[in-house]
Amino acid sequence: MAAIKVEDISHPPMDQLQGLEYCIDSNPSWVETIALGFQHYILALGTAVMIPSLLVPLMGGSDGDKVRVVQTLLFVEGINTLVQTLFGTRLPTVIGGSYAFMVPIMSIIHDPNLTMIEDPQLRFLSTMRAVQGALIVASSIQIILGFSQIWAICSRFFSPLGMVPVISLVGFGLFDRGFVLVGDCVEIGIPMLILFTIISQYLKNFHIREQPILERFALLISTTVIWVYADLLTAGGAYKHRKQVTQHSCRTDRANLISSAPWIKIPYPLEWGAPTFDAGHCFGMVAAVLVSLVESTGAYKAASRLASATPPPAHVLSRGIGWQGIGILLNGMFGTLTGSTVSVENVGLLGSTRIGSRRVIQVSAGFMIFFSMLGKFGALFASIPFPIFAAVYCVLFGLVASVGLSFLQFTNMNSMRNLFITGVALFLGLSIPEYFREYTTKAGHGPAYTKAGWFNDFLNTIFFSSPTVASIIAVFLDNTLEYKHSARDRGMPWWARFRTFNEDSRNVEFYSLPFNLNRFFPPS
């Protein structure tokens, strides 16, 4: 028997993923670019509709208020995405709404001073203004940490090993928005999951005019087919005698978005009135901003890999966080009812389509802004049943999580130290937030429950986030446990090339500012 060669049983570490069709600064044809941008827009609708749909009714708002918030959120998402791709990290990332802000916002909604307001419309406006004020104040944290380069200094403590749990749990930590929501309407959720998988993976080699159309547009094709199927089920009376929860998830005529949406409406700052400021509300929101910062850091690193770029240098990462803070400030000024973070599902779509073009994401931002102003048309697409999005999330969140695991190739996983850190950070990153979720479901409040509401919001928000918990544990262990003699095992020799802008010549190609702005803002 011939001797087994080492290259037959192992694969050398690679800076960039193989098989990507277009990288960050290469572009498909304009027709494909527009179609791919529209596909990213459709995917971004899931979170943009879900967050206002959950929060606005609790605030006393009407269907009309919900539509206005959805429109405003999409409008600001488009602006933030354009700004981030032009002046921030310049990675092809959609900057969307964040569930990390749910805990402090729910606390504001249940504030006794607001719940005692009897008029629903007045209560909605008062609550919206309180949320706006908290977002405006809390946004200063990311602005300061980003533009002062403090986050760049902090990121020097990161290693490939320390980042594995963080990036992986950016995807894995969202498991409660996957099959859990598919199960709310299995009639359309499971067919969507199966169809999307078949088209994007099993039929990806099917070409039309030498183009892998099915692979690139699997989301649009499968969403259209299942949406029509869901409409037929609704029209045929399949859900007439089902529970209200099932009808709300399955029916295509339950969202009331189209009927409530105006034909044309341009969102503008302070539309809901002057923001109000409360110290307790602001302090709780600061925790959500910190969580958004950690989650976005992991998502940016995943996006760089799926866009066939080098990991963003510390200076670029900090610059992106600063602009993301500006984005949260805009969220507060316009009244979007949530803050900003990197849309994980859109990062996953980069890998599914194998197209990491920056221009595609910029076109998707144009669609967000355009359809947010044309209310009826935007509401039509926003009325897609949420289990359709949840089915796609099952694939795309998992893809982002696997990108995080791919960083293990730069570390020594025969080291017990590395196995300990990776395993403990991953497990506790999932287990601790799950404990906080179950406790809150049973008790009606989080495990942190003292007389100081701001303190409760701060701790509960931090420990609800899987990437944040994993980051705290992994970075602490990685920088304290036998760290002096484990630089090579941690992957630091490979990582060192990407810690500063000028260390790798490819950084200039990927991350330089447009319009020759590097003359005024030289990279460090």
Q: List phi, psi (to 5°) of 247.
A: -60, -40
Q: How many angstroms separate the Cα of 16 from the Cα of each of 13, 24, 303, 363, 406? A: 9, 12, 11, 25, 11
CA distance 475 to 421: 9
Residue pLDDT tens, the chain, 524 long: 566 666 666 777 777 787 788 889 889 999 999 999 999 999 999 899 899 989 999 999 988 889 899 999 999 999 999 999 999 999 999 999 999 999 999 999 999 999 999 999 999 999 999 999 999 999 999 999 999 999 999 988 899 999 999 999 999 999 888 899 998 889 999 999 999 999 999 998 888 877 889 999 999 999 999 999 988 988 888 777 777 777 778 887 766 677 777 788 889 999 999 999 999 899 989 999 999 999 999 999 999 999 988 889 988 999 999 999 999 999 999 999 999 999 999 999 999 999 999 999 999 999 999 999 987 777 777 788 899 999 999 999 999 999 999 999 999 999 999 999 999 999 999 999 999 999 998 988 889 888 888 889 999 999 999 999 999 999 999 999 988 888 899 988 888 877 776 777 777 788 888 877 766 666 66
Neighbours of 1 (CB within 10 A): 3
pLDDT given at position 520: 63
pLDDT given at position 405: 94
pLDDT given at position 8: 65
Token pair recorded at residue 477 = 């262990």
Neighbours of 521 (CB within 10 A): 11
Q: Give the three-class secondary structure for 206.
A: coil
Helix (H), strand (E) at residue 342: strand 340-342
Q: Is residue 333 within 8 Å of residue 270, measured between CB atoms?
A: yes
- Shortest CA distance to 27 belongs to which of 17, 36, 18? 36
pLDDT given at position 382: 76
Kindly tell me the sign of the dihedral angle through the C-alpha atoms of 27, 29, 34, 40. Answer: negative
What are the pLDDT digits (tens) for 374-429? Answer: 877 777 777 888 999 999 999 999 999 999 999 999 999 999 999 999 999 999 99
